[in-house]
């Protein structure tokens, strides 16, 4: 009887699972974190963080490597570079 109740509760529960947040601690008082850069400011290459773990955010410091090892994730940086002529 108890097993049936647990199965029913698991399958038909109206509570939704909350997915974990990506941004754990950066600018949490800001409703939406946005960064904009002029192309002229970028130089030849810019590397931006996408894992939200970088101590130099919005720039990548390689923190995604540890994050990926710990979580099995596969996130990497956004790399913007000047097109070779």
Beta carbons of 66 and 53 less than 8 angstroms apart = yes
Asked, as a colleague might, if the bond just before 58 is cis with ω within 30 of 0, I would say yes
Domain-located, residue 3: no
Active site residue 56: no
pLDDT tens digits for range 54-66: 999 999 999 999 9
pLDDT tens digits for range 22-45: 777 778 888 888 888 887 777 888
Considering the chain, what percentage of its residues have pLDDT values greater than 90? Answer: 25
Domains in the chain, number: 1
- CATH assignment of the domain containing 31: 3.40.5.90
Residue 84, pLDDT > 90, answer no
Active-site choice (14, 16, 19, 32)? 32
For residue 28, the enclosing domain spans: 19-81
pLDDT for res 28 = 82
């Amino acid at each position: 009887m108890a097993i049936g109740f647990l199965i029913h509760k698991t399958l038909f529960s109206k509570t939704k699972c909350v997915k974990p947040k990506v941004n754990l601690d950066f600018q949490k008082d800001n409703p939406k974190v946005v960064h904009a850069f002029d192309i002229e400011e970028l130089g030849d290459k810019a590397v931006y963080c996408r894992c939200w773990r970088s101590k130099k955010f919005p720039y990548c410091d390689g923190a995604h490597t540890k994050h990926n090892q710990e979580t099995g994730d596969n996130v990497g940086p956004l790399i913007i570079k000047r097109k070779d002529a």
